[in-house]
Copies of this chain bind each other. A is one copy, B any other.
Amino acid sequence: MSKRIVGPEIEKLIQLLAKVPGLGPRSARRAALHLIKKKEQLLGPLTVAMGDALEKVRVCSRCGNIDTVDPCMICSDPRRDAATIILVEDVSDLWALERAGAMNAQFHVLGGTLSPLDGVGPDDLNIRGLVSRVAEGGVTEVIIAVNATVEGQTTAHYVTDQLADMNVKITRLAHGVPVGGELDYLDEGTLTAALRSRTAF
């Protein structure tokens, strides 16, 4: 706010809320006001939950997932197929695949993509961890589920090279028409891929 009409505590709260993805300067003001009005129902519990997260959440030393235990609930779940590792860029991708619930496999979170321009090299990603998990034995397939972007595909090629000499099958997600998608709105690359990978009806 240009003129100082609220105490510094409220201004600080608004400034910090504006940094949360999904909130901008305008909605941060609205959010702050709502939180202050709902002190008991929302501001209090949210403060406690954030304090809990701050204290307890850690990165899984095995797969790079985020959880309150290490190894994370997925890594330590004996009902999961330990022979298959799904490789993702980010924890949000892991969550998305888990919501789909299509496979009961293990995961490995890279923590980004190779990006020489931004100074992100192989050592900045969790690639060595993947290689040593495969080297331990017991893994028969690595499913590369990085984003279908240039950076994602570059990273996929690099990882594939690192695993080349190991006795493990490397697969990747299929390209094609999204379920429920309309052809008219799809790009040429997706349509070409969908045609090339056509299946018997």
A interface residues (Cβ-Cβ under 8 A, vs B): 1-10, 12-13, 16-17, 19-23, 27-37, 39, 42-47, 49-54, 56-57, 66-69, 73-74, 91-92, 94-95, 98-99, 101
Contact A56 B21 (CB under 8 A): no
Which residue of B12, B22, B69, B94 contacts A52 across the interface (Cβ within 8 Å)? B12
Tell me the minimal C-beta distance from A52 to chain B in angstroms.
5
Can you list 24 A-B contacts (CB < 8 A)? A1-B95, A1-B98, A3-B98, A3-B99, A3-B101, A5-B73, A6-B66, A6-B67, A7-B57, A8-B68, A10-B57, A20-B23, A20-B42, A20-B46, A21-B30, A29-B95, A33-B91, A35-B50, A35-B53, A36-B53, A39-B57, A43-B54, A46-B50, A47-B51
- Taken together as a complex, chains A and B put the C-alpha atoms of A170 and B148 apart, in Å, by 63
Residues of B within 8 A of A57 (CB): 7, 9-10, 36, 39
Tell me the minimal C-beta distance from A190 to chain B in angstroms.
23
Contact A43 B50 (CB under 8 A): yes
Contact B10 A53 (CB under 8 A): yes
Known contacts A1-B95, A5-B73, A5-B95; 11 additional CB pairs below 8 A are: A5-B74, A7-B69, A8-B68, A9-B53, A9-B56, A9-B68, A10-B57, A20-B34, A22-B30, A47-B54, A50-B50
- Taken together as a complex, chains A and B put the C-alpha atoms of A92 and B95 apart, in Å, by 36
Residues of B within 8 A of A92 (CB): 29-30, 33
- Taken together as a complex, chains A and B put the C-alpha atoms of A46 and B67 apart, in Å, by 20
Contact A5 B47 (CB under 8 A): no
- Taken together as a complex, chains A and B put the C-alpha atoms of A197 and B34 apart, in Å, by 36
Contact B27 A21 (CB under 8 A): yes
Residues of B within 8 A of A8 (CB): 68
Contact A10 B67 (CB under 8 A): yes
- Taken together as a complex, chains A and B put the C-alpha atoms of A9 and B177 apart, in Å, by 37
